[in-house]
Amino acid sequence: MIRSRRFLVSQNIFSFLKSNHFSLVQIFLLLTTSLVLISCSATTRYPGKEVKEVTKIPETQTTPVLELRILLDGYNPSGSLFIESDVNLIQENSKVSLINSGNTIECYISDNSIHLQINGQDFEAEKFIFEPASSDEILRINGKRYRGKIQISGSDNRIYLVNILDMEDYVKGVIAKEMPIGKNNENFEALKALSICIRTYAVNKMKEGKINFDLYNDTRDQVYGGVDSENPLSNKAVDETRSLILEYDNKPAIIYYHSTCGGFTESAENVFTKVVIPYLYGVEDGVEPNCKISPRFQWEETYSGEGIINRLKSYSILDDNEYELEDISIINKFDSGRVSELEIIVEAENGIDKSIIIRGNEIRSILRTADQKNILWSTMFDISISGDIIKFTGNGFGHGVGLCQWGAISLSREGMDYGNILQHYYSGISIGFLND
């Protein structure tokens, strides 16, 4: 019969006490006390071999919550907010009022102080915070829904309406605005790749140290639409890449991305920077371009001579005198096929010709599309002239640097995972954790 160590200890104590003439009552009390003490003592383990403690590596790394400040709107010097959910009004970290849904708040700035007028009540402070008072923790203001909180601050006689929220919630509010969701999971790996790009871009923008906000909510940075732009599939892509960013030399990488490269991406120094960035050089995007599925893979824009002249005037390149277009031609192209120099020759009223050189991505801003609603789709184009008709025939949409979104979508549909998609467009980068 196998006896426990505790039973053997008790048996030895009993034999010792009996031999020393203790009464049965005394023996019972002593044995009971000893058993209680033994049972309360720490358990000792005796492994047959030395056991080393193993640290379990988590599947995802827990990182501190990183908050971003997204500029939603600006008022100069006043504006109004329509509140569509119950919110708490916070001033200097203290709740000063509960504002019920359906109220309109009038805001104005005076001497860099913000003034709010709500149902006849006046509040004044350097800044105010709106926090959700409802259980779903969603703010509904001016017809839109936001996570996090809304801050109202001001400077230089201007009011700033800013959404303060967690990085991951910000990425969820951007990604579906920047890339088509697609059918089922066909774009899923591309969405994951782009979520890492969005996060990395935002990290770098935070380092700029703007006073009132970190990022614009439009194409000046990344298009952000709050909760209304979220989608379950794109949210899943963000969750599965939580806290991941692109790194180079152990630092967040400089990130650019665009819609459609037209078959060849562009080197950053030809568009944005004066220095070479090793992982932002032009790459061929497939022998048969990956982004050929893009609705902007090919395009045409048609102008008149007068239309070109008017664009030069609106950009203050020409004065208001009369000019006629003599010629427009491509002087040089980059290796990618994008125009690096465009020459426009105009004749003034006095008969003297004037040569105007426009370079690189500036061509898009000056010439714009024929209807003037957008900047020119890309600088990857050729020109044909017939009489007074100037036709631009081009490929691609955007500046062409970094990840091509439609190219990434095509690679995702072919079965490539997000890591290889990123390596294709940013050769030499690594993927790391935020706040490593």
CA dihedral 125, 130, 131, 132 (to 10 degrees): 150
Angle at 184 between CA 182 and CA 187, to 5 degrees: 45
Q: What is the pLDDT of residue 55?
A: 26
Single-letter residue type at 226: G
Query: Would you say the C-alpha torsion 270, 434, 69, 214 has a positive or negative sign?
Result: negative
**Residue whose tokens read 């017809």:** 143
Q: What is the pLDDT of residue 377?
A: 98
Distance CA 7, CA 131 (A): 63
Q: What is the pLDDT of residue 77?
A: 87
* DSSP one-letter string for 306-337: HHHHHHHHHTTSS-SS-EEEEEEEEEEE-TTS
Q: What is the pLDDT of residue 8?
A: 39
Contacts 24+ apart (CB under 8 A), 292-297: 292/263, 292/410, 293/406, 293/409, 293/410, 294/259, 294/260, 294/396, 294/397, 294/406, 296/259, 296/260, 296/377, 296/396, 296/397, 297/260, 297/262, 297/395, 297/396, 297/406
Beta-sheet strands, E only, within 180-297 = 215-216, 244-248, 251-252, 257-258
Distance CA 73, CA 92 (A): 22
Nearest one of 315, 317, 332 to 270, comparing CA atoms? 332
Q: What is the side-by-side order of every strand in the sheet holding 298-304?
A: 298-304, 389-395, 381-386
Q: What is the pLDDT of residue 71?
A: 97
Cα–Cα separations (whole angstroms), residue 326 to 344, 346, 348, 354, 367? 8, 5, 10, 9, 16
Query: Do 421 and 379 meet the contact criterion of CB atoms below 8 Å apart?
Result: no
Query: Do 426 and 402 meet the contact criterion of CB atoms below 8 Å apart?
Result: yes
Task: Report pTM.
Answer: 0.82
Distance CA 219, CA 205 (A): 14
Distance CA 180, CA 193 (A): 13
pLDDT < 50 regions, the chain:
1-22, 24-59
Distance CA 107, CA 130 (A): 13
Distance CA 206, CA 202 (A): 6
Nearest one of 345, 246, 268, 263 to 298, comparing CA atoms? 263
